[in-house]
């Protein structure tokens, strides 16, 4: 096999590894940015399992967002072939650390899954370790042959692409933290019919029980006709009290119009319930549910769901609860009481606000590169013409 053939083969292999890594990093970074609160919960599991002590919630939030930005940025750089020497080194270091971490998780099993891809893809610890071994091998190949990159953008717009992607994923993380994941991959997304057999399997960990009698009320609540509000507070001790006026207003609204209202929490001790009642003026009854499952149901504390005939039609975080102005009439007569298929619109919005600006930047880059090539070609053509004219003149003189 000659030298050129070997180079071509390694060029193909290196770029396959590069695009594989780019896809995984972009996807992983996006999923973390889409569900920063879910990543915070996973980081908290790691902290508890490692026994390092208490880490403030805000610190975990910052770590989760930084991790999302880092992974997404690495992926974008790999995709477009930007700063290949530095990024290829960073990728090897990153994958080496993650491989060692997942090896530890696989052996000692401190958490059930690593949470790399959120709720959309749940891998066992063994599969996660195997995946990272493969990606580490790809990262090594990518590092060794980074000089064989097929570059997709020129030098002039690389900084702009980097800045745009980092700012975008940061702002996207903040929006998703305050308003719930923009793309909901949980089994409790809007439009889910909790009565269906498929949903029953996916939400097997969800239950509602009467605190006093212990009676299981899950079927009764899910099968209730009309509208039902579910207020989820995984732990009353760590819930946001800044929205309690809105919560109390929604409870009064549900009572005035005869809608169901259930407050689901894992805080079963009377002292904690009394504390919440005294500090918030809550008049609603508490029902027992699993804390971990409630955090999956909605990424907020408190969070609010609106069911219509067992179908989840609305979800609100503690920062986005409906005000009295929005609840001015019966739900049957209000827009928020209607079921809408908004997941498709959310995907369209996502593509509009990220893909289109990025495509515009790339288009400008390609047009600029085209003009540069044209100017270089014209300059070279003129030089050749001058050389030909000079040669003709010399020949005539001779």
Q: pLDDT tens digits for 249-276?
A: 999 999 999 999 999 999 999 999 999 9
| Residue 117 pLDDT exceeds 60 | yes
**Domain region containing 41:** 3-179
Confidence of residue 237 (pLDDT cuts 50, 70, 90): very high
Mean pLDDT of the region 289-312: 95
Token output for 19: 């695009």
**pLDDT (0 to 100) of residue 394:** 67
Q: Are residues 355 and 273 in the same domain?
A: no
Within a domain: residue 203?
yes
Q: Are residues 12 and 150 in the same domain?
A: yes
**pLDDT (0 to 100) of residue 153:** 83
Nearest residue to 176 via CA among 337, 277, 37, 380: 37
Using DSSP, state whether 31 is helix, strand or coil. Answer: helix
**pLDDT (0 to 100) of residue 239:** 93
Within a domain: residue 302?
yes
Within a domain: residue 192?
no
Task: Of 42-46, 260-264, 283-287, 314-318, give the lowest mean pLDDT range.
Answer: 42-46
Nearest-angstrom CA–CA distance, 265 and 298? 13
| Residue 344 pLDDT exceeds 70 | no
Q: Are residues 337 and 347 in the same domain?
A: no
**pLDDT (0 to 100) of residue 326:** 93
**pLDDT (0 to 100) of residue 396:** 66
Q: Are residues 18 and 111 in the same domain?
A: yes
Count how many domains the chain has: 3
Q: Are residues 288 and 222 in the same domain?
A: yes
Q: What is the mean pLDDT of the chain?
A: 89
Q: Are residues 223 and 98 in the same domain?
A: no
Q: Are residues 121 and 222 in the same domain?
A: no
Q: Are residues 320 and 245 in the same domain?
A: yes
Mean pLDDT of the region 135-153: 91
Mean pLDDT of the region 312-316: 95
Nearest-angstrom CA–CA distance, 113 and 59? 22
Mean pLDDT of the region 68-94: 95
Q: Are residues 144 and 229 in the same domain?
A: no
Q: Are residues 201 and 309 in the same domain?
A: yes
Distances, alpha carbon 135 to alpha carbons 21, 38, 96, 260, in Å: 7, 24, 9, 50
Within a domain: residue 218?
yes
Write down the number of H helices and E strands in the chain: 13, 6
244: domain CATH number? 3.40.30.10
Each residue of 143-164: b (16+ CB within 10 Å) or e? bebbebbeeebeeebbeebbeb
Q: Are residues 123 and 250 in the same domain?
A: no
Nearest residue to 237 via CA among 259, 266, 263, 211: 266
Q: Are residues 78 and 36 in the same domain?
A: yes
pTM of the model: 0.87
């Amino acid at each position: 096999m000659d030298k050129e053939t070997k180079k071509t083969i390694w060029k193909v292999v290196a770029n396959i590894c590069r695009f594989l890594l780019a896809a995984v990093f972009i996807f992983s970074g996006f999923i973390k940015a889409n569900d920063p609160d879910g990543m915070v919960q996973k980081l908290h599991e790691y902290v508890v399992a490692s026994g390092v002590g208490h880490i403030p919630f805000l610190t975990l939030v910052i770590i989760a967002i930084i991790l999302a930005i880092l992974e997404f940025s690495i992926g974008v750089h790999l995709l477009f072939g930007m700063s290949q020497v530095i990024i290829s080194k960073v990728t090897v270091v990153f994958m080496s650390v993650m491989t060692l971490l997942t090896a530890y998780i696989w052996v000692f099993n401190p958490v059930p899954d690593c949470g790399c891809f959120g709720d959309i893809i749940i891998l066992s610890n063994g599969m996660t370790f195997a995946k990272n071994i493969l990606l580490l091998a790809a990262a090594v190949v990518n590092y060794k042959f980074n000089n064989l990159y097929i570059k997709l953008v020129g030098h002039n717009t690389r900084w702009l692409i980097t800045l745009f992607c980092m700012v975008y994923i940061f702002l996207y993380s903040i929006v998703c933290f305050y308003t719930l994941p923009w793309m909901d991959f949980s089994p409790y997304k809007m439009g889910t019919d909790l009565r269906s057999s498929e949903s029953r399997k996916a939400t097997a960990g969800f239950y509602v029980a009467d605190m006093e009698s212990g009676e299981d009320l899950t079927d009764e609540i899910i099968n209730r006709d009309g509208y039902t509000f579910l207020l989820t507070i995984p732990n009353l001790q760590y819930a946001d009290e800044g929205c309690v006026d809105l919560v109390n207003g929604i409870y009064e609204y549900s009572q005035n119009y005869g809608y169901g209202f259930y407050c689901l929490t894992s805080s079963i001790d009377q002292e904690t319930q009394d504390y919440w009642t005294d500090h918030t003026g809550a008049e609603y009854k508490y029902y027992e549910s699993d804390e971990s499952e409630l955090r999956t149901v909605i990424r907020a504390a408190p969070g609010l769901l609106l069911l219509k005939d067992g179908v989840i039609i609305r979800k609100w975080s503690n920062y986005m609860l409906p005000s009295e102005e929005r609840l001015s009439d019966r739900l049957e007569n209000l827009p928020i009481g209607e079921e809408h298929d908004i997941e498709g619109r959310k995907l369209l919005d996502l593509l509009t606000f990220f893909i289109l600006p990025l495509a515009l930047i790339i288009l400008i880059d390609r047009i600029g590169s085209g003009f540069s090539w044209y100017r270089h070609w014209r300059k070279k053509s003129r030089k050749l013409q001058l050389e030909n004219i000079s040669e003709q003149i010399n020949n005539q003189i001779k």
